[in-house]
Amino acid sequence: VRSDFRVPQYATVDLAGRRVLSTIARGKHLLTRFEGDLTLHTHLRMEGAWKVFGTGERWRGGPAHQIRIILGTADRDAVGFRLPVLELLRTSEEEQAVGHLGPDLLGPDWDPDLALANVLADPARQLGEALLDQRNLAGIGNVYKSELCFLLGVTPWLPAGALPADRAEKLPALAKRLLEANRDRPVRRTTGLSRRQTTRLPWPDLFVYGRAGRPCLRCHTPVRVADQGDGSQERPTYWCPTCQAGPTPAAGSPQRWRDRYPRRTG
């Protein structure tokens, strides 16, 4: 591999000649392991992206000044745009970066009972925030938070302790099914239908996320959006006021956060 780090901390680091052993996901963290007990730890958060391009292919994903790292081989370049977390650590010390994570929805340590217990541990906490907390279960991001709450029929502002028992029982398996179904897809899809499987074109890939003001696919009520969370944890959150039961923000609540670089993948 060859490397080009474009962050001051690693400006002099050169991984040239090292072999990439593996890249694994732990929740929303990516661990790329190299020969010599080295791991590149990255996290996309809301605006970051990894893009892979063939030799001679035009790079797309943002302007050049937003590139944080390039890893290249003879015929491919992996380019990291706007990566808020980028660090090199010893492979033997990876747990320092990801040891706090809860059961991984797509990992070998998946434990549905523990994941559900973690989510429900604070009964007063809003369900959407509990789902995003990677210490509870690892892998759910903002898109899946909104979609999962829609499929459960409750709003993301519902206190976790108020989630009906029958829906709580379904939560771990439903979350896992959503992530597994989209593991290898270039575009996330939760509606179950592709554009080629319906005469209603274009058919949305998602039930509520990114569809504010548009009709709910089930009841045709306009989908709403509001921010959930405080400070750096604030996220735009989508829901159907008819299909989903539970508390919601007041109409016209201020929204300070917007996705400047919406991602269709991952």
DSSP 243: T
List, for residues 22-63, the tens digit of each pLDDT value. 998 888 899 999 999 999 999 988 789 999 999 889 999 999
Is residue 215 reached through a cis peptide bond, with omega within 30 degrees of 0 on the bond before it?
Answer: no
Please give the distance of CA 65 from its chain centroid, rounded to a whole number.
Answer: 24
pLDDT, mean over the chain: 89
Q: What is the CATH number of domain 2-98?
A: 3.20.190.10
**Whats the size of the chain, residue-wise?**
266
Planar angle of CA 54, 40, 8, nearest 5 degrees: 90
Q: What's the mean pLDDT in 142-159?
A: 97
Contact present, 187 and 204 (Cβ < 8 Å): no
Residues contacting residue 42 through CB under 8 Å, at least 6 positions apart: 29, 30, 32, 48, 50, 69, 80, 83, 85, 86
Tokens for 242, please give them: 């008819």
Among the listed ranges 41-50, 181-190, 193-202, which one has the minimum average pLDDT value? Answer: 193-202
Give me the residue spans of the domains in the chain. 2-98, 112-239
| pLDDT tens column, 202-253 | 678 999 999 999 999 999 999 999 999 875 557 899 999 999 999 998 665 5
User: Whole-prediction pTM value?
Assistant: 0.78
Instruction: Write out the two tokens for 183.
Output: 């593991």
Was domain 112-239 assigned CATH 1.10.8.50?
A: yes
